[in-house]
Structures are given as C-alpha cells and as structure tokens.
A = this chain, B = another copy of it.
Amino acid sequence: MMHPEPIMDIAHLGHLELLTPKPEESLRFFVDVLGMTESGRKGDSVYLRGWDDYERYSVQLTAAKTSGLGHMAFRARSPQALQRRVAALAGSGYEIGWLEGELGHGPAYRCHDPDGHIVELYYETEWYDPPAELKPSLKNQAQRYPARGVNVRRLDHINCLAADIKANRIFFDEYLGFRLTEQIVLDDGTEAAMWMTCTNKSYDFAYSRESHGIKGRFHHLTFALDCREDILRAADIFLEAGVHIETGPHKHAIQQTFFLYVYEPGGNRVEMANAGARLVLAPDWKPIVWTEAERKKGQAWGLKTIESFHTHGTPTLEEMKATGAL
C-alpha cells in the first residue's frame, strides 16, 4: 500500500507579530542595528522588513505591556490550499476564525496551536514596492541592499516554547502538513524539541519544551544572513552597539545552523543564522532523533549550551507577574 502523499498547502513562514514593552528602543534596534526597513504603521504596530523579504513586511512590531509573540503567520500555496487547511481545522478545537483588514495581506484564518500560540494562515499578499530611493539595481531583488548595520536578509524561522512538544508536533503535521526534520527525544521517551519545515529549508520553525509549564511563550525569531562571515561581523556590530550577546557565534549540532543570539531592547531573543547551502531536498526525509546524551555534548564544536538558553523566554516571568498573568 502506498503512503499518503505529503500535504504541500503551506508555502512558507510569512511574518510574525512581536510584542515589545519598549517600542521605540526596539524599533531603533531593528532599523539601526539590524538594518531593517520600516514599511508601514498601523495602530500600535510598526511593520518591518529585511531587504530580501518579498512581501511588504516580515515583522510586525507591536507596543504591548510585555514582550513575546503576538502571532505567527504562514502563507498558503494557493487559495485552494488555504481553503483546504481551514476545512481540515474545522471541528479540531483549535479554530479561532477569519480576520480581515490586516495590513499587507488578505483575509487570514486564525487558529491556535495546543500550547496557545496564535497561528495565522493567508494567501493574498502585498508584494513590496520600494520607493525610488530603495529601488535595487538588480530587478530580481526586492529592495536595495541597505549597507547599514547587520543587514539582515530575510526572516528565516521562529522558535516557540511549549509545555507538550509532541502535541504541537502532531498539530502542525496533521492539520497543516509540516514535516519533522529533527527532534530531541529524552531517555524517558518524551520529546524535548522539534524542528519542522514546509519548504526546502531544514526548518521553518522549532519548538522547545518550556521549563516552567507556562503556555504560549516565545523563544526567538531568526533572520537569515548570507554567510558565516556576515554573522561574525554582526557580532562585532552588536558589541559596538551595546547589544546583549547571549551566546555565539557557534555552530549548532542540531540542524548545523551557524548561530548568534542577542536580546533586543524589548527582551525578545533574536538570532542571526546561516546554514550555508544546506537544504532538505528529499521528499521523504527521515527525521534525525537526538538523544539526551547527545544533547548534553553541547554544540557542534564543543560550546556548552548557556543556561539562559533553557530558561529565558518571552514574556519573561517577571513581566507575567507584573501584569498578573502569573
């Protein structure tokens, strides 16, 4: 008997809404230090883009009482694909409903994952149309290369925390068609982290186990840069700009990503990453399973994983207590 065919209905991660209690400082970080471009304002949100993001924006930065994730948004492959995913979610218990009028894209269907993060699906989108001074020299490029700060290229992936990794993996697999590429399974058989994809990238998002049992928290968002040298240079720039570098640059054993983690002024963790020319081309990729012992060996070249990497998430516990959420 033949295996069922893969669901190809989600095209890619489109954007995320990032919450910040320090909107002005966060904005300066994303524009001045990371080199992003502001491409819209609406309500409490400023919309931002990397120079290679083809849609109008990839980050919606929203002033809020705490840091954290507002929502994540995936673009469907076609109008039909969007309808199929909405139909699949019907009756799942994860539905939220249709939302219209968001800046930059058409009608969006919202649901939530088992951990409570809001997931948005849409198809119609606004392609970025740069003003004259940002027109690129090469017409196959979305926007002029800014030559400012870190020059982040495009949004690459996000990482959420969740109390139950397995439940979330099944949700994204069954309802949305994401494919698992790597995961950590502990000695007791429970899942500690997972990496899933809907593209040829080896992951479009990851989930790590939340260590306090709190739901809906966020670990980090990641921008793609062209090469490892770009990320080393970013470290130089963060040092000069007084940005808190949490760990890196170094190479993850899992997914082999060359990483650098910093905290933006609002408290959210931001990663600069590069996987070189690595792509998952196999349509039947066999997930790589990392054991507890392997995880303890640290990163690829021997760096021990820093403690805060396992504990810091947004909103922070302090923010949650201050706002009465804890």
Which A residues fall within an 8 A CB radius of B?
Answer: 2-3, 5-6, 8, 11-12, 33, 52, 54-55, 75-81, 127, 136-141, 144-145, 147-150, 153-154, 156, 182, 199-201, 224-230, 232, 235-242, 245-251, 253-256, 258, 274, 276-279, 281-284, 286, 288, 290, 300-303
Find out whether the CB atom of A283 lies under 8 angstroms from the CB atom of B11. yes
Q: Are A281 and B153 in contact (CB under 8 A)?
A: no
11 A-B pairs within 8 Å (CB atoms) are namely: A11-B282, A136-B240, A147-B240, A148-B148, A154-B277, A226-B277, A227-B276, A228-B229, A232-B251, A232-B258, A249-B250
Report chain B residues within 8 Å CB of A290. 139
> Given A200-B200, A300-B239, A227 and B225 touching (CB < 8 A)?
no
Rounded to whole angstroms, the CA-CA distance of A25 and B182 in the bound complex is 36
Asked if residues A80 and B2 are in contact (CB atoms below 8 Å), the reply is: yes
Known contacts: A148-B148, A237-B147, A258-B232. The answer to whether A54 contacts B141 by CB under 8 A is no
What residues of chain B lie closer than 8 Å to A245, measured between beta carbons?
301-302
Residue numbers in B under 8 Å from A154 (CB-CB): 277
Q: Give the distance in Å from the alpha carbon of A303 to the alpha carbon of B246 in the complex.
A: 9
Chain B contacts for A137, CB-based, 8 A: 239-240, 242
Which residues from chain B contact A249 at a C-beta distance below 8 Å? 249-250, 301
Closest to A290 in B: B139
Interface of A is mostly: loop
- Copies of this chain, count: 4
A37 vs chain B, min Cβ distance (A) = 13
10 tightest A-B CB contacts, nearest first: A226-B276, A227-B227, A224-B277, A11-B283, A12-B281, A200-B200, A77-B283, A229-B229, A8-B8, A140-B288
Additional A-B contacts beyond A138-B300, A199-B281 (9; CB < 8 A): A5-B80, A6-B77, A11-B281, A12-B281, A33-B147, A76-B283, A226-B228, A232-B258, A245-B302
CB pair B301 A140 closer than 8 Å? no
Residue of B nearest to A3 (CB): B78
Distance A282 CA – B55 CA, assembled complex (angstroms):
9
Q: How far is the CA of A145 from the CA of B138 in the complex (A)?
A: 28
Contact of A256 among B12, B140, B147 (CB under 8 A): B140
A200: B residues at CB distance < 8 A? 12, 199-201, 279
Partner of A138 from the list B5, B253, B302 (CB cut-off 8 Å) is: B253
A70 to B42, CA, bound (A): 54
Task: Give the distance in Å from the alpha carbon of A262 to the alpha carbon of B241 in the complex.
Answer: 30
Q: A5-B77, A301-B235 are in contact. Are A144 and B277 (CB under 8 A)?
A: no
